[in-house]
Structure 1
Amino acid sequence: MKLYSVLFLFLIVQSCGNNNEKVLPKERTLTEAVYASAVIQPDSLYQVYAIVSGILDANLVEEGDMVVKNEQLLQIINSTTKINSENAKLALSLAKENYTGKAAILSSIEDEITAAKLNFRNDSINYYRQKNLWDQHIGSKVQYDTKKLNYELASNQLKLLQNKYHRTENELHTALKQAQNNYQSSSITTQDFTVESKINGKVYALYKEPGEIVTTMEPLASVGSAHRFIIELLVDEVDIVKISLHQDVILNLDAYKDMVFKGTISKIYPKKDERNQTFKVEAEFIVQPKVLYPGLSGEANIIIAQKEKVLTLPKAYITDGNKVKTDDGIITIVTGLENMDYIEILSGISKNTYVYKQN
């Protein structure tokens, strides 16, 4: 008798539990979205770098200033580079003088060539005169050989000087070109001590004070658009394949707690950030708030798909991804869209099927 009482009590408890933990699938509009953390940044924001090293002489603008393209932002000084530029200018002047000036090295070689030509002509005359005599068996063999040797030596000397002239001319011309290139390079470097803005925009940050050392590896300022901002989103790698251009974005900003903003996906960066296993995605505001600052943060949902009047079930009533408990036992269902709370039922049960929550 006690056994029947316990069994009856168990069935009552189980029946009560099933009645309290059962639901009917319900039709509703279902929106599937991907969560992403959001940060607001100015459009075209970039870090300003110098292409030369030195000492920061002056910040020519202040944080918050509006600037136009090519406007001067910072002034750097470096006496070493200026001295190098002056030395390059002197070297260029010397190279020009050596190549084309009155005291050019080539002039002295030309003088030597002129003298060698006169000597060659004289030795040539003496040689052929002695040769004609020798051909007539007049004169001695020693005289003939001497004239011939002097002629050959003069000829070789003239050729050597002519080769020396052409070689020296090429060397001086090359040295002149090198000096011109060095001076041009040093002149460009001197001009680069003034850092200019690349865009029309706003100065958002200055990282150095006058007197500090400037290198080419450290940013000096941050400049971006003054009026146009973008939404930077970090999307988990498991969701990135669902993201495509022009998808709608619903944004909540911490600075505007009671407001919801809308945007659209405008850019997807293909490289994953290995540190946090996320991808960066950019979105544009449909209607931008009047006041925005770089770094404002919030949360966003990227709308993947949306359906109206679909049969849905709370996720808590589904186990193993596609199984539900009904009056007919465990049934496998086919699911579709899903969000944080609900999932679409495509087949397996109807809107009249009670589904029980499983422990």
Structure 2
Amino acid sequence: MKKLLIIAGIAALAIACKKKTATYTVQQRPLNEAVYASGEIMPQAYYFLKSNSTDLILQMNVEEGDTIVKDQVLAVLGTPSQLTQLDILHSQVALAGKNAAEGSATLNELKTKIEQAKQTYEQDAVNATRYTDLANDKAVPEKDAEQKRLEAANSLTNYQSLQQQYLAQKNELAGKLLQSRQQLATSSQVREGKVLKSPVNGSVFKIYNKAGELSELNNPVMLIGLPGKFKLELLVDERDISKIKMNQKVYFETDVYNGKQFTATINKITPVLQKESRSFQVEAAVQDSIAFYPQSSVEANIVIRENTSALMIPAGYLLKGDSVYLRQGSELQKKGISTRSKNDDWVEVTAGLKAGDIIAKKE
């Protein structure tokens, strides 16, 4: 399709054969004007699921056309050894958590030693007090009392040392648990990028890689989305973007349905120029409910004006510099005019002529 400038109800031109000069009476005519755009048709809501690194497709759990639900695992990337490594880290976290728990064997053993040391200290403290009292009463030698006091002091030191060991062991085990969890979190984060889940309830439209194939970094593994509703993603030349407005009608064709025309409505204009193509992207909601094929190419005409009454002249009467020969009585006079829309057949005149004027074309 080419840029349109369609005139409805074309009348026969008035031709004067005298001196081989053709004439035309300027008049208002219905005009349809459109801007050409090209692009592709896509689901109204769609997602390209991609790998965050170059990886092997380890598992492909769906096929094209399958119905899927949110959070369903669609594919798994990586290698079997990476899965094994993740299982090992899970086991390490479980073990570290078990060791760091209050009832763990390691901590319980220290608790038992602490309790025994406490009992020993309490007994030695009682003996030290008793022997000190006996020594004061001259019932036992002072050196015996001193020995008991030394044994009580040693028991206290051992008791306090075991308490410190318990705290140190508890902190060490908690640190190992934290370290294991951090390693698991890091590996899980990497792994999450290798487990492709569906963000929506929808359908699988396209699978680009099979199980056992290599998926390159940022290349799509599959295209999924919501079935039933579609949109056009179109590129409009930068010279035409100022004419595009929201809710304009779009007529489009796709090779999948060769020769059939469909309609859409502009619902998004992205105001950023794509430097590579010198074009702007616009989107249009497809009105037809037929089953389209995502990523099919389309050619479209965005209707700028439809059935508008405009002053029109045949393109063959327009001279260089936007001027025409205007008949003034029996003479022809060259006159400048202002124009807007043009194609190979017709020209819209915005100033310089009025309905009823007669213009001429010299053969």
TM class by shorter chain equals 0.5 to 0.7
Per the TM alignment, residue 28 of structure 1 is displaced from its structure 2 partner at its CA by 0.2
CA shift digits 1:82-112 (9 cap, x unpaired): 3323332342244235423554369649957
Identity value in percent: 26
Q: How far apart, CA to CA, are the structure 2 residues paired with 1:233 and 1:153?
A: 87
Cα distance in 1 for residues equivalent to 2:270 and 2:173: 54
Any conservation in 1 of the 2:47–2:224 contact (CA below 8 Å)? yes
8 Å Cα contact 2:50/2:221 also seen in 1: yes
Q: TM-score, normalised by structure 1?
A: 0.68
Change (3 A) 1:265 1:358: farther
Runs of 4+ in structure 1 over 6 Å off: 116-123, 151-164, 187-193
Instruction: Using the TM superposition, name which of 345-354 and 228-237 deviates more.
Output: 345-354
Q: How far off its partner does 1:35 sit?
A: 1.2
1:301 matched residue in structure 2: 301
Describe the SS at the equivalent of 1:259. coil
1:229 equivalent in structure 2: 230
Give the match's secondary structure for 1:287.
coil
1:312 matches 2:312: yes
Contact between 2:110 and 2:162, CA under 8 Å: does it hold in 1? no
Give the secondary structure class of the aligned counterpart of 1:91: helix
Superposition pairs for residues 14-93 of structure 1, below 5 Å? 16=19, 19-20=21-22, 22-50=23-51, 55-63=56-64, 65-70=65-70, 71-76=72-77, 78-93=79-94
Question: How much does 1:76 deviate?
Answer: 4.8
Q: 2:355 aligns with which of 346, 351, 354?
A: 351
Could you tell me how far apart the structure 2 residues matched to 1:297 and 1:186 are?
Answer: 41
Shift of 1:36: 0.9
1:319-358 pair list within 5 angstroms: 319-320=320-321, 323-326=323-326, 327-333=332-338, 335=339, 338-341=341-344, 342-356=346-360
User: What CA deviation, in whole Å up to 9, does each residue of 1:128-178 have, x standing for no partner?
Assistant: xx9xxxxxxxxxxxxxxxxxxxx9999999988866755554443233234
1:331 Cα deviation (Å)? 3.0
The 3-state SS of whatever aligns with 1:305 is strand
Query: How far off is 1:282 after superposition?
Result: 1.8
User: Distance in 2 between the 1:226 and 1:105 partners?
Assistant: 58
Aligned length, in residue pairs: 331
Secondary structure of 1:88's aligned partner? helix
Give the CA deviation at 1:34: 1.2
Deviations 1:199-232 (A, max 9, x none): 4444333222332234663322222444333222
Structure 1 stretches of 5 or more lacking a match?
1-14, 131-150
User: How far did 1:238 drift?
Assistant: 1.5
- Residues 265 and 165 of structure 1, relative CA distance in 2, 3 Å threshold: same
Moved more, 246-255 or 91-100: 91-100
For structure 2, the 5+ residue unaligned runs are 1-17, 133-151, 327-331
1:280: Cα distance to partner? Answer: 1.9
Q: Residue 15 of structure 2 corresponds to which residue in structure 1?
A: none
CA distance in 2: counterparts of 1:223 and 1:291, whole angstroms = 15
| Aligned partner letter, 1:309 | S
CA distance in 2, matches of 1:44, 1:103: 55
Distance 1:160 1:38 in 2: 77
**Per-residue deviation at 1:69?**
1.6
Q: Which amino acid aligns with 1:219?
A: P
In structure 1, how many angstroms separate the alpha carbons of the residues matched to 2:51 and 2:254? 35
Query: CA 1:241–1:346 in 2, change beyond 3 Å: closer, same or farther?
Result: closer
- Partner of 1:3 in structure 2? none
Question: What's the RMSD between the two structures over aligned residues?
Answer: 4.8
Matched, 1:208 2:188: no
Cα–Cα, structure 1 residues 349 and 56, in superposed 2: closer, same or farther, change >3 Å? Answer: closer
1:57 Cα deviation from its structure 2 partner: 4.3
Inter-partner Cα distance in structure 1 for 2:355 and 2:37: 33
SS at match of 2:263: strand
**Structure 1 pair 329–192 and aligned structure 2 pair: CA distance change class (3 A):** closer
Normalising by the residue count of structure 2, what TM-score does the alignment of the two structures yield?
A: 0.67
Aligned to 2:8: none
In structure 2, the residue matched to 1:104 is: 106
Deviation at 1:246, TM superposition (A): 0.7
* 2:61 and 2:75 in contact (8 A); partners too: yes
How far apart, in 2, do the equivalents of 1:260 and 1:307 lie?
Answer: 19
Structure 1 residues 304 and 176: CA distance shift in structure 2, 3 A: same
Partners of 1:291 and 1:61 in 2: CA distance:
21
Tell me how far 1:55 sits from its aligned partner: 4.0
